[in-house]
Amino acid sequence: MITLQQIQDAHKKILPYVNYTPLVNSQYLSKNSKVKLKLENFQITGSFKLRGAVNKLLSLNAQEKKKGVIAVSTGNHGKGVAYASKVLGIQSTIYMSSMVPKYRKEAIENLGAKVEIVGKNSDEADIFAKQLSKEKKYYVNSSL
């Protein structure tokens, strides 16, 4: 189980690399109780996925960073890994299936990652990346 201290430590670690995103009250959702929304769409890559990517990449040792990282994604996770990798000077390759729209591939490439299209669906891309990871000892993270 993740502790509050681990969350606080991660927060401090990633702070220089992510945008502050506000909490706002939602009148519509607050009919029976108060509901606030965390506006992660204001994040650099447009989603909360950047936070996890930065936190993970900051935890890699020098040898892992030098080798680079691979990930499997259909969009936001890949954008997070691509941006975090670029900022931290780590080479990254994102694997996606042929089902992923071209604009998502281009968005990830524009953030600095190499994108490889593998397989007809996300499961096939995931299997490929996990096998590659075993063979070449890459860190792999998939978020389908």
pLDDT band at 128; cut points 50, 70, 90? very high
pLDDT of residue 68: 94
Supply the CATH classification number for the domain 4-143. 3.40.50.1100
pLDDT band at 144; cut points 50, 70, 90? very low
pLDDT of residue 27: 95
Question: Does the pLDDT value for residue 137 go beyond 90?
Answer: no
CA distance linking residue 112 with residue 49, whole number of Å: 16
Query: If you average pLDDT over every residue of the chain, what do you get?
Result: 94
From start to end of the chain, where are the E strands? Answer: 23-25, 36-38, 69-73, 92-96, 114-117, 139-143
Phi and psi torsions of 116, nearest 5°: -120, 130
pLDDT, one tens digit per residue, over 42-71 is 999 999 999 999 999 999 999 999 999 999
- The length of the chain, given as a count of residues: 144
CA distance linking residue 105 with residue 60, whole number of Å: 25
Start-to-end CA distance of the chain, whole Å, equals 23
pLDDT band at 134; cut points 50, 70, 90? confident
% of residues, the chain, pLDDT over 90: 92
For the chain, give every domain's residue range. Answer: 4-143
